[in-house]
Amino acid sequence: MKPVYTEKAPKPVGPYSQAVKSNGFLFVSGQLGVDVKGITTDTIEGQTEQCILNIRNILEQEGLSLEKVVKATVYLADMNDFQKMNSVYEKYFTGKPARAAVGVSLLKNFKVEIEVVATYQ
């Protein structure tokens, strides 16, 4: 197991890694819609895009791309935002990885969080 870190994504705010490489996979921790400077937008579309950009930057640290994502989990503070989130998500995840979308109430000031699993194969 090897932790992965890049300066191009927000630093972890707790005892976890941005991602972990293990057994041919990269497990990317949940990314919020905030950039490395701590700036976030108020819209679900803007936060979704920033989540994905953070994920892409972490993947690129390992020489991977969004096309290598095999599984995504999307956490939404409000399931009524699903269609708006999905309209941004589908622009980036053209390979259509497996996905789950779950409504959660504890995202505080954020509307969305996305975690992914990518393959090195």
Q: What is the reported pTM?
A: 0.96
The rounded distance, in Å, linking the Cα atoms of 121 and 107 is 33
35 touches 46 (CB < 8 A): no
pLDDT at 109 over 90: no
Which DSSP string corresponds to the chain? -EEE--TTSPPPSSSS-SEEEETTEEEEEEEESB-TTS-B-SSHHHHHHHHHHHHHHHHHHTT--GGGEEEEEEEES-GGGHHHHHHHHHHH-TT--EEEEEE-S--TT-SEEEEEEEE--
For 2-119, the fitting CATH number among 2.60.120.310, 3.40.1390.10, 3.30.1330.40, 3.40.640.10 is 3.30.1330.40
pLDDT at 106 over 90: no
pLDDT at 12 over 90: yes
Band of the pLDDT at 6, cuts 50, 70, 90? Answer: very high
For the segment 27-45, the average pLDDT, to the nearest whole number, is 95
For the segment 29-43, the average pLDDT, to the nearest whole number, is 94
Give the rounded percent of residues in the chain with a pLDDT score beyond 70.
Answer: 100
> Which pLDDT tens digit goes with each residue over 47-83?
999 999 999 999 999 999 999 999 999 999 999 999 9
Task: Look at residue 15 in the predicted model and tell me its pLDDT.
Answer: 95
Task: Look at residue 22 in the predicted model and tell me its pLDDT.
Answer: 98
